[in-house]
Amino acid sequence: MTTFAVSVDLGGTNLRIAAVDSNGKTLEKITTSTAVTRGRDRVIDEMSAAIQQIVAQQRGAGELAGIGIGVPGIIEMQTGMLRESPNLPGWDNYPVRDEIERRLRATVVLENDANAAALGEKWLGAAAGLDDMCMLTLGTGVGGGIVMQGRIWHGMTGMAGELGHINVEPNGHPCKCGSRGCLEQYASATAIKRMAHEAVATGMAPHLARAIAADPEFGSKLIYEMAMQGDAPARAIFERVGTALGLVLADLVNIFNFPMYLIGGGVSSAWDAFAPSMMETVRRNSFVYRATAPTENTLSGHTTTSSGRTIIALAQLGSDAGLVGAARLPMIATRANGAGSRPA
């Protein structure tokens, strides 16, 4: 009999839920209208109701393996507690796992959303078949996930892999984590918008100034389009994104010597604009990369793996990586998934 799992991606803006079977087939996927800003208790109520509904609808798909929930922020695996989340105000030190388990009477596995995305790409995406990989998710913030020997690397408490908070500028822009100059401050959608405003403030970016004035709700996509049209200040912003990513990737390659490093999340669609400076920086800063670089051109982002070569590429599952990975969590939790499983 096949099993299926229900996964939840609790983003900073809305809530997405999916049912995925043990073969990796997505049976159902919904985006709820739940606005996370409406507060924790309301979100927990609506999330529980939506999970129950989807479980009832998929009863014919087999046995429910459990529920996997990806959340932004640092979590404590043993207690299933969200310790701190800059994107979910009011959720600090909240026992998310126990609360959902109590309501639904099913196994719940809580995981950092970027860890879940890395696991998704390892299961069904660009890193399928690999046991070691690392992923950076570029969205509102920058998340990181490390998969080592087939499992998410949790560290002591579950908080390992915060790659978005690796320093790239010693006295750089202040970060929500309390540090300064983190990767997140140079490679997230939020950072790209900020750097656009900074460029406009210098008075040296007239086209950007006009575009932003015409569309005050602009996103990083607008800056990307201007960069691809050749606007120098917009190009400089994405060169900075690429340099920051390259510095962190060079460190990661030197530390891990993994076969694959993936870039995912919404901002990764601007690959063409940031990849040249990113790859140049990795090559310059990592001697391990230079010794293991693939011979073919890697700028396309679609290079396949080959033995002994370091691949830096685009993730493949898009915005579904986190949902797919979160669904995988309860399926593998019983197989001694490190801190992910309950103490025996």
Only segment of 17-25, 147-155, 178-186, 333-341 that touches Zn ion (CB under 5 A): 178-186
Task: Compute the distance between CA of residue 79 and CA of residue 98 in angstroms, rounded to an integer.
Answer: 8
> Minimal distance in Å, beta carbon 183 to Zn ion?
8
Only segment of 31-39, 50-58, 136-144, 163-171 that touches Zn ion (CB under 5 A): 163-171
3-state secondary structure the chain: CCEEEEEEEECCCCEEEEEEECCCCEEEEEEECCCHHHCHHHHHHHHHHHHHHHHHHCHHHCEEEEEEEEECCEEECCCCEEEECCCCCCCCCECHHHHHHHHHCCCEEEEEHHHHHHHHHHHHCCCCCCCCEEEEEECCCEEEEEEECCEECCCCCCCCCCHHHCECCCCCCECCCCCECECHHHHCHHHHHHHHHHHHHCCCCHHHHHHHHHCCCCCHHHHHHHHHCCCHHHHHHHHHHHHHHHHHHHHHHHHHCCCEEEEECHHHHHHHHHHHHHHHHHHHHCHHHHHHCCCCCCCCCCCCCCCCCCEEEECCCHHHHHHHHHHHHHHHHCCCCHHHCCCC
Only segment of 153-161, 168-176, 197-205, 226-234 that touches Zn ion (CB under 5 A): 168-176
Task: Compute the distance between CA of residue 113 and CA of residue 72 in angstroms, rounded to an integer.
Answer: 5
Only segment of 153-161, 175-183, 191-199, 275-283 that touches Zn ion (CB under 5 A): 175-183
Instruction: Kindly tell me which residue out of 175, 248, 321, 339 binds Zn ion, with binding defined by CB under 5 A.
Output: 175
> Minimal distance in Å, beta carbon 184 to Zn ion?
5
Only segment of 10-18, 25-33, 152-160, 161-169 that touches Zn ion (CB under 5 A): 161-169
Binding mask 305-334 for Zn ion (x = CB under 5 A): ------------------------------
Instruction: List the interface residues with Zn ion, window 180-239 (CB under 5 A).
Output: 182
Only segment of 167-175, 186-194, 245-253, 262-270 that touches Zn ion (CB under 5 A): 167-175
Task: Compute the distance between CA of residue 98 and CA of residue 44 in angstroms, rounded to an integer.
Answer: 12
- Nearest-10 Cα torsion for 95, 100, 102, 103: 140
Q: Which one, 163 or 212, has the nearer CB to Zn ion? A: 163
Q: Which one, 106 or 177, has the nearer CB to Zn ion? A: 177
> Minimal distance in Å, beta carbon 75 to Zn ion?
17
> Minimal distance in Å, beta carbon 165 to Zn ion?
4
> Minimal distance in Å, beta carbon 187 to Zn ion?
12
Q: Which one, 154 or 165, has the nearer CB to Zn ion? A: 165
Q: Which one, 49 or 177, has the nearer CB to Zn ion? A: 177
> Minimal distance in Å, beta carbon 92 to Zn ion?
17
Instruction: Kindly tell me which residue out of 177, 228, 236, 299 binds Zn ion, with binding defined by CB under 5 A.
Output: 177
**Count of chain residues binding Zn ion (CB under 5 A):** 5
> Minimal distance in Å, beta carbon 152 to Zn ion?
21
Task: Compute the distance between CA of residue 136 and CA of residue 247 in angstroms, rounded to an integer.
Answer: 13
Instruction: Kindly tell me which residue out of 165, 235, 240, 328 binds Zn ion, with binding defined by CB under 5 A.
Output: 165
Is 179 an interacting residue with respect to Zn ion (CB under 5 A)? yes
> Minimal distance in Å, beta carbon 252 to Zn ion?
16
- Give contact residues for Zn ion (rule: CB under 5 A): 165, 175, 177, 179, 182
